[in-house]
């Protein structure tokens, strides 16, 4: 908006206002007096440009994006804490109970026992919100002393933690709200209800999937993969917990809703490549995996076709690859059709040198 208001432009405009019989050359008193002011004014125009962008949803970021879209009713999803299963053993290697609230640690993440599931089996919650606690399993180090406790371990994620919703995800939900007619329990409203739950990245509704009055909602997580069972259960409980058409959730009376995780369709790639000098197949494999993951994620619930030619271009875009041959995608050389309730995910990648 103010790109033309540069230091040189502003300074020249100021110098033009000085009488011509006064020395205005660089290094003169007038020049040196006006130059610092021109610098500050140029910076002011930069700040004005930035602040103007923060007023509009398509260019705003952070808290300014929240404010720009507040009128729509779409709000940013907060970070949530990971919940995991913890098992606790005594000196005889048998399961034992521990006090609720007992604290443990693995690495930099602390966990607290919040609920007893069975003898020696507890629901543990990370003290730090976000996805940091999702990947850590194994032996727990007790922070609080517990009599007769010999061993403690985390075994599985019950409810994955997620970071605060990103600007891109929030803006995508905002765009869906304003561009799709959401009203009276239509298909778009089911998708919006699903995406209100933390851990859901995208959702797709299928009306009349099992006869009149039935709706199926397929879910993806924030990584465009099938979400955990806990996330699916949370969405089911929010939209239609009883599945009897009585309207005990957000779904209207008469609708029986089934919530499922998207089916994952593995995309396996094998290719032979001619490499540049000094390059290795390991380097090519790493870059091809990253590029293919990004491509497949872009297709999630938006495009049902994994294109063979697109995989070809991904390979040729890898700098160490001079040429390739014998490219197979899922064992063939044709496009892969993905079902409407499924998502393509990267399977195996095999790269050999010619």
Both 303 and 316 in one domain: the answer is: yes
Domain contains 75: no
Both 143 and 89 in one domain: the answer is: yes
Range 168-173 average pLDDT: 91
Domain contains 210: yes
Both 234 and 279 in one domain: the answer is: no
Which of 17, 33, 53 corresponds to the end of one domain? 53
86: nearest Cα among 33, 145, 25, 151: 151
Average pLDDT, the chain: 92
Torsion of CA 23, 24, 26, 32, to 10 degrees: 100
Both 195 and 153 in one domain: the answer is: no
Both 340 and 275 in one domain: the answer is: yes
Over the stretch 78-133, which tens digit does the pLDDT of each residue have?
Answer: 999 999 999 999 999 999 999 999 999 998 899 999 999 999 999 999 999 998 88
Q: What is the predicted pLDDT for the residue at 133? A: 85
| φ/ψ of residue 77, rounded to 5 | -75, 130
Range of the domain at 206: 181-261
Q: How many domains does the chain have?
A: 4
User: Taking 80 as the threshold, does the pLDDT of residue 1 lie above it?
Assistant: no
Over the stretch 13-56, which tens digit does the pLDDT of each residue have?
Answer: 998 888 888 888 888 988 988 899 999 999 988 888 788 888 88
3-class SS letters over the chain: CCCCCCHHHHHHHHHHCCCCCCCCCCCCHHHHHHHHHHHHHHHHHHHHHHHHHCCCCCCCCHHHHHHHCHHHCCCCCCCEEEEEEEEEEECCCCECCCCCCCEEEECCEEEEEEEEEECCEEEEEEEEECHHHCCCCEECEECCCCCCEEEEEEEEEEECCECCCCHHHHHHHHHHHHHCCCCCCCHHHHHHHHHCCCCCCEEEEEECECECCEEEEEEECCCCCCCCHHHHHHHHHHHCCCCCCCCCCCCCCCCEEEEEECEEEEEEEEEEEEECCCCCHHHHHHHHHHHHHHHHHHHCCCCCEECHHHHHHHHHCCCCEEEEEEEEECCECCCEECCCCEEEEEEEEEEEEC
Both 269 and 346 in one domain: the answer is: yes
Q: What is the predicted pLDDT for the residue at 259? A: 97
Domain contains 200: yes
Both 117 and 103 in one domain: the answer is: yes
Both 150 and 195 in one domain: the answer is: no
Domain contains 244: yes
Range 2-22 average pLDDT: 86
Both 341 and 286 in one domain: the answer is: yes
Domain contains 333: yes
Which of 261, 286, 301 corresponds to the end of one domain? 261
Q: What is the predicted pLDDT for the residue at 59? A: 87
Range 208-223 average pLDDT: 95
Both 270 and 347 in one domain: the answer is: yes
Q: What is the model's pTM?
A: 0.72
User: Taking 90 as the threshold, does the pLDDT of residue 11 lie above it?
Assistant: no
Which of 239, 261, 283 corresponds to the end of one domain? 261
Percent of the chain with pLDDT over 90: 73
CA distance 249 to 260: 16
Both 239 and 293 in one domain: the answer is: no
Both 247 and 203 in one domain: the answer is: yes
């Amino acid at each position: 908006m103010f790109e033309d208001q540069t230091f040189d432009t502003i300074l020249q405009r100021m110098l033009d206002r000085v009488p011509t019989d006064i020395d205005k050359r660089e290094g003169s008193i007038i020049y040196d007096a006006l130059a610092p002011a021109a610098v500050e004014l140029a910076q002011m125009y930069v700040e004005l440009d930035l602040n103007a962008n923060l007023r509009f949803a398509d260019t705003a970021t952070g808290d300014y994006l929240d404010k720009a879209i507040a009128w729509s009713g779409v709000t940013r999803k907060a970070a949530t804490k990971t919940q995991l299963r913890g098992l606790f053993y005594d000196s005889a290697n048998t399961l034992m109970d521990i006090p609720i609230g007992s604290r443990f640690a693995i690495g930099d993440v602390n966990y607290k026992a919040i609920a007893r599931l069975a003898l020696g089996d507890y629901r543990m919650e990370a003290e730090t919100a976000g996805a940091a606690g999702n990947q850590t399993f194994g032996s727990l180090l007790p922070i609080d002393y517990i009599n007769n406790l010999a061993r403690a371990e985390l075994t599985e994620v019950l409810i994955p933690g997620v970071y605060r919703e990103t600007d891109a995800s929030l803006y995508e939900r905002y765009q869906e709200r304003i561009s799709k007619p959401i009203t009276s329990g239509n298909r778009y409203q089911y998708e919006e209800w699903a995406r209100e739950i933390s851990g859901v990245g995208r959702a797709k509704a299928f009306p009349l999937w099992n006869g009149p009055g039935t709706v199926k909602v397929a879910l993806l997580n924030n990584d465009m993969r099938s979400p955990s069972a806990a996330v699916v259960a949370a969405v089911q409980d929010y939209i239609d917990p009883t599945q009897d058409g009585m309207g005990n959730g957000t779904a209207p009376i008469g609708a029986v809703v089934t919530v499922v995780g998207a089916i994952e369709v593995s995309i396996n790639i094998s290719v032979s490549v001619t490499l540049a000098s000094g390059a290795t197949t390991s380097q090519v494999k790493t870059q091809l995996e990253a590029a293919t993951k990004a491509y497949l994620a872009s297709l999630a619930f938006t495009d049902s076709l994994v294109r063979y030619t697109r995989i070809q271009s991904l390979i040729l875009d890898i700098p160490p690859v001079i040429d390739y041959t014998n490219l197979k995608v899922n064992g063939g050389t044709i496009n892969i059709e993905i079902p409407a309730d499924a998502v393509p995910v990267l399977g195996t990648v095999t790269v050999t040198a010619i």
